[in-house]
Each structure stands twice: as C-alpha cells, then as structure tokens.
Amino acid sequence: MKRRLHIGGREVKDGWEILDALPGDHVDHLLDARDLSAFSDNSFSEIYASHVLEHMDYKDELDATLREWWRVLAPGGTLSLSVPDLDVLCSAILARDKLALGDRFYAMQMLFGGHVDEYDYHKVGLNQDILAAFLTRAGFVGLGRVPAFNLFKDSSLIAVAGVPISLNMTAKKPNNGKRPAAAGK
C-alpha cells in the first residue's frame, strides 16, 4: 500500500497521513518536519508540504530538511511543495500605486510569518530559482512549477489582491533511489 505524507496539514483526507509539530485531532504523527527519523528510508510514495519550508533556516535547516524528506520518499516518489513566492510578495509590497496598505501589509506577513505560535516565523525567502537550487542540492530531479495542486484547501491557494502568492513546485526522487552526482553532500 502506498503511503502519502502531508507535512503541516490541517485537512484530513483519505490516503494521507498528517505530520505536524503541534498536536490536534487531525494529526497522525506529532513530529518536527526537520526530523523524520521515526520513518524508515523510502516510506512514502508522495510528500506534500504547503508553506512549511520557509520556516527552516536557510543556513543549515533547509538543506538538512530536504535531504531528510528525500530519504523517506520512495524511489520515483513525488515531492509537492508550496512556499510564499518571494518575487510575487516583493512586487506586491512595492506596488504602492496599485495596492492598498492593508494588502501590502498582508504580503509582508506572508514574507515573515503570521507569528501566531512559536513555529509561525519565516526564516528564508524563496523564489523559483532559489528553491530549485535547494531541491537539486538535496538530490531531487524533474523539477517543475505548477499553478495549483488541487489536493487541499490550504495556504497554497492564498492570494493578495487577487494575485496568487504561492510558488508551487513538484520534484522527484530518482527512480534508482540514488542522489545524482550533481547533488550536494
């Protein structure tokens, strides 16, 4: 049976296991997304994470987290990611003549986090080029940007003044289960 992991999920959906750092009735695995040592290698055919990676420090945590997610993903498995798009948010903040202050403030919150709990602080800004570099370094291949995943009603769908602010990307673990030679160590 294929297992699918929804990191940071809130919406219960058949066939998906939810991992979160905060307890709740919807949570199957109460764990930190940076440490999936509770799972063996190649455990999941699919991993989905919406607005999770920006909570990882770009210096050390982001690389380590992606390598950990790569480890538990089965060969040929898919990683689907959504993060606040740094390019879109910066453009929104600078659009003084087009957007009201409230919209620009909301874009700023998407950059830095809502600060509603101890985990809701953003430590990195990601656009397509930067995220692709981190994914490639972790060993992922077949990177692609998608307009939407249509899996969950979550942060991947957020818009500011009608403009979607999420960068939605997919990546694969190579079918042979080995990191490409170009991946970082």
Task: Tell me the three-class secondary structure of the chain, residue by residue.
Answer: CCCEEEECCCCCCCCEEEEECCCCCCCCEECCCCCCCCCCCCCEEEEEEECCHHHCCCCCHHHHHHHHHHHHEEEEEEEEEEEEEHHHHHHHHHCCCCCCHHHHHHHHHHHHCCCCCCCCCCCCCECHHHHHHHHHHHCCEEEEECCCCCCCCCHHHCEECCEECEEEEEEECCCCCCCCCCCCC
Q: What is the pLDDT of residue 24?
A: 95
Q: What is the pLDDT of residue 5?
A: 98
Q: Is residue 30 part of a domain?
A: yes
Q: Say if residue 173's pLDDT is above 60.
A: yes
Q: Is residue 47 part of a domain?
A: yes
| Average pLDDT rounded to a whole number, residues 172-180 | 95
Q: Is residue 101 part of a domain?
A: no
Give the Cα separation of 113 and 85 in Å (integer): 13
Q: What is the dihedral of CA 62, 65, 67, 69, to 10 degrees?
A: -140
Give the Cα separation of 69 and 37 in Å (integer): 10
Q: Is residue 161 part of a domain?
A: no
Task: Give the closest residue to 91 by CA, choosing from 74, 78, 76, 110.
Answer: 110
Q: What is the pLDDT of residue 183?
A: 73
Give the Cα separation of 13 and 23 in Å (integer): 17
Q: What is the pLDDT of residue 140?
A: 98
Give the Cα separation of 133 and 128 in Å (integer): 9
pLDDT in tens, 59-88: 999 999 999 999 999 999 999 999 999 999
Range of the domain at 129: 4-83+122-156+166-172
Q: What is the pLDDT of residue 139?
A: 97
Q: Is residue 89 part of a domain?
A: no
Q: Is residue 13 part of a domain?
A: yes
Q: Is residue 112 part of a domain?
A: no
What total of structural domains would you count in the chain? Answer: 1
Q: Say if residue 184's pLDDT is above 70.
A: no
Average pLDDT across the chain, whole number:
95
pLDDT in tens, 144-169: 999 999 999 999 999 999 999 999 99
pLDDT in tens, 1-11: 699 999 999 99
What's this model's pTM, rounded to 2 decimal places?
0.94
Task: Give the closest residue to 169 by CA, choosing from 152, 148, 139.
Answer: 148
Q: Is residue 108 part of a domain?
A: no
**CATH number of the domain bearing residue 40:** 3.40.50.150
Q: Say if residue 119's pLDDT is above 90.
A: no
